[in-house]
Chains A and B, each alone.
Chain A
Amino acid sequence: MNYLDNLIFAILLTLGVGFFVKNIKKISRNIRLGKDINRTDNKNARLKNMMMIALGQSKMVKRPIAGILHIVVYIGFIIINIEVIEIIIDGLFGTHRVLRVLGGFYGFLIGAFEILAFLVLVSVSIFWIRRMVLKIPRFWNKEMKGFPKNDALYILYFEMILMSLFLVMNATDVPFQQINSGNPISQFLVPFFENFNVITLFYIERAAWWLHIIGILIFLNYLYYSKHLHILLAFPNTYFANLHPKGQLDNLEAVTNEVKLMMDPTVDPFAAPPEGEENTIPAKFGASDVTDLNWVQLLNAYTCTECGRCTSACPANQTGKELSPRAIMMKTRDRLEEVGANIDKNGKFIADGKELLNDYITPQELWACTTCNACVEECPVSIDPLSIIIDMRRYLVMEQSAAPTELNGMMTNIENNGAPWQYNQMDRLNWKND
């Protein structure tokens, strides 16, 4: 017996899975560069969200065409991958279709895979048409140029090729076709291979088998570079999502402490700091770089699959403003990748003269937001672009005093007379007698 095949297979499998694990560790390290935030409360509600939104795809169908097609691809992806178990066993031990011992059930299983593979092919083709022929606007916003655009297409091509290889592999497997069970789709491909002799068919089948599993391993490792990471991260992302009402912003604790001190008449403003705290750096208010964001916000950035539902619902974006919530997520991820690469290279982060603010996200984008929560509502995997926008506004206002002039006026009025306009607080009840 020739063990070379099995050895090559084992090496490829180890490399494929090994690189994948290495990259996942890198992602996990990068996410943990974020600030701490407690999202471990209320486990039942979290689990329920994950089951409904990630596993159950409940928010996908809000846009029915894309939603239903996506569910087909999603179910197909999960179920067809059961076949990988057989491929791995066959590959490692030199068997062929080892699960055939399951008898009639095997035919049912493979038959189901074939039908799903066909449906996935159809769905993915429609996705391609929506993107490239119908040119649905949210796929053509300005942030969708270059790699983001190609990334989406590569994923579709990958899926088309993988599904085709699976069907060709079955169609050219002569003994499998002879059993004539579990081949509801591939039997229609058999006529294309009629004129090939048995040896050629054998090699086509082997080639399709090898390319299929190699393709899967390549795809697995492509995830790290791609928006397609959502197939994994949608689960933790929905689990750790915000459970409060959408209108509720967090109250910065560092600020609470300062304000309490300020309002406490017994505090001596000239007192020396307590022993041991002389040199502590005061907390930075808001976010100017990815490490100022919390880890859930960074997880959000890796989870974003750039579908653009948020941006297409954003009132600022629809009226031609610079802001695109999707771009906020993409830029956060790009910057986080850059910081991660910097750490990989230098062992720790060495200042590179860049920040998320200004070098990636501009104040014009941040000041265009109406905080209406449409982006948060739209996201099928519970990403919260608004929280990043608010944290960056906080930095602009509290650390840089860089609010637009009119907003400075508004805030001065609140400070002086308790209203955003210049009215005397003593006139507050005048409406009664108007």
Chain B
Amino acid sequence: MNVPTMSEMMAQGKQPEVLFWVGCAGSFDDRAKKITKAFVKILNKAQVSFAVLGTEESCTGDPAKRAGNEFLFQMQAMTNIEVLNAYEIKKIVTACPHCFNTLKNEYPKLGGNYEVLHHTELIKSLIDEGKLTIEGGKYKGEKITFHDPCYLGRANDVYEAPRELIKKLEVELVEMKRCKSNGLCCGAGGAQMFKEPEKGTMDINVMRTNDAIKVQPTIIATGCPFCNTMMTDGVKATNKEDSIKVLDIAELIANTDDL
């Protein structure tokens, strides 16, 4: 696995085409790290010129902003922007829709202007440009449903890229009753990931997992590390872990080629 950092690249006088923003979950969460690696394998295979910030990366500030701490958000944002601009970054790809939304929508007014892509969008364009091919055989017979991350779907109107990738796997793509702009949240957004839910009658991730179970998938596909955690927990809570797997789209694609 080849993962160059920006500082290494700079030392060699090189500029990558795209920065891979790994995000906190992708860097530290054991489950999300697998998604990170799967995506890197895809980047390596398609010979994409990329780099990561490594230890120079820091939280985008999304959970702080959504929790109401605008100070902390803007301090994070301005620090990150200083780093990104120093490296003259033009294009960023990330596997986290929260980082994606923040970098794309909330950094420009603070001086950070970049083209920002969700990893499913980048993978799709790699396939469209012929830089990556997918053998569909691996998942034959699987029934996959895609859970729309709020910060990719409703927040930024990206609904098709992840679905087109799933279709390329030669599987049956089944839609939950609530999908796309009507999709139900997994329960993690707005900093809920980092706290216990408020008092209620049910957990949101269990309700969302029930939505998925109704269409009897063998795999629930996600495009967000937090959705992945929530849906994985939901599948466990409903005792379905033997029959339903929760996988990120990057993992699905990487697995087809045993990357």
In the complex, 20 of the A-B residue pairs with CB atoms within 8 angstroms, ordered by the A residue number, are A248-B101, A249-B65, A252-B70, A252-B74, A315-B184, A364-B199, A370-B188, A370-B204, A371-B189, A392-B68, A396-B68, A403-B68, A403-B69, A406-B196, A407-B194, A410-B64, A414-B61, A414-B76, A418-B57, A427-B27
CB interface residues, A 268-304, toward B, < 8 Å: 285-286
Apart from A248-B106, A323-B198, 6 more pairs, CB < 8 Å: A246-B156, A247-B105, A247-B156, A263-B78, A372-B189, A374-B185
Contact A319 B201 (CB under 8 A): yes
Q: Which of B59, B73, B204 contacts A319 (CB 8 A)?
A: B204
| Interface pair A367/B105, CB less than 8 Å apart | no
Give the interface segment out of A103-111, A200-208, A218-226, A253-261: A253-261
Contact B54 A393 (CB under 8 A): no
The chain B residues found within 8 Å of chain A, CB to CB, are 1, 3, 5, 22, 24, 26-29, 33, 36-37, 52, 54-55, 57-59, 61, 63-79, 101, 104-106, 109-110, 150-151, 154-157, 181-182, 184-185, 187-204, 207-208
CB neighbours (8 Å) of B68 from chain A are 286, 390, 392-398, 403
**Number of residue pairs A-B, CB distance < 8 angstroms:** 218
Q: Which of A373, A397, A418 has the most CB of B within 10 A?
A: A418
A346 to B109, CA, bound (A): 42
Residues of A within 8 A of B155 (CB): 245-248, 373
Binary per-residue interface labels of chain A (383-406) against chain B in the complex, 1 for a CB within 8 Å, 0 otherwise? 000000010111111100001101
Residues of chain B within 8 A (CB-CB) of A368 are 197-198, 200
Of the candidates A259, A420, A425, which one forms a contact with B55 in the assembled complex, judged by CB atoms under 8 Å apart? A425
Distance from B115 Cβ to chain A, minimum over Cβ atoms (Å): 15
Contact of B204 among A315, A404, A430 (CB under 8 A): A315
Q: Tell me, rounded to whole Å, the shortest Cβ–Cβ distance linking A283 to chain B.
A: 11
Q: Are A319 and B69 in contact (CB under 8 A)?
A: no
- CB-CB under 8 A from A192, the residues of chain B are none
A259 adjacent to B78 (CB under 8 Å): yes
Q: In the bound complex, do residue B70 and residue A245 qualify as a contact, i.e. CB atoms below 8 Å apart? A: no
Give Cα A259–Cα B111 distance, bound, in whole angstroms.
13
- Expressed in whole angstroms, the Cα–Cα distance for A320 and B22 within the complex equals 35
Bound complex: CA A186 to CA B55 (Å): 80
The answer on a CB contact under 8 Å between B28 and A421 is: yes
**Size of A's binding interface in residues, CB under 8 A:** 68
B187 and A315 within 8 A (CB): yes
- The answer to whether A429 touches B27, judged by C-beta atoms less than 8 angstroms apart, is yes
Q: How far is the CB of B161 from chain A (nearest CB, A)?
A: 16
**Shortest distance from the beta carbon of A170 to any chain B beta carbon, whole Å:** 44
Residues in B whose Cβ lies below 8 Å from that of A319: 187, 197, 200-204, 207
**Within the complex, what minimum Cβ distance (angstroms) separates B65 from chain A?**
6
Q: Indicate the member of B156, B187, B204, B208 with the most A CB atoms within 10 Å.
A: B204
CB pair A377–B54 under 8 Å, yes or no, is no
Q: For the complex, give the distance between the alpha carbons of A244 and B105 in Å.
A: 9
Q: Bound state CA distance, A392 and B185, in angstroms? A: 21
- Which residues of the partner chain B approach A418 to less than 8 Å between Cβ atoms? 24, 57-59, 76
Is A112 among interface residues, defined by CB-CB distance under 8 A?
no
- In the complex formed, the residue of A with least CB distance to B40 is A432
Q: B204, A316: Cβ atoms under 8 Å?
A: yes
Q: Tell me the nearest residue of chain A to B32, going by C-beta.
A: A431
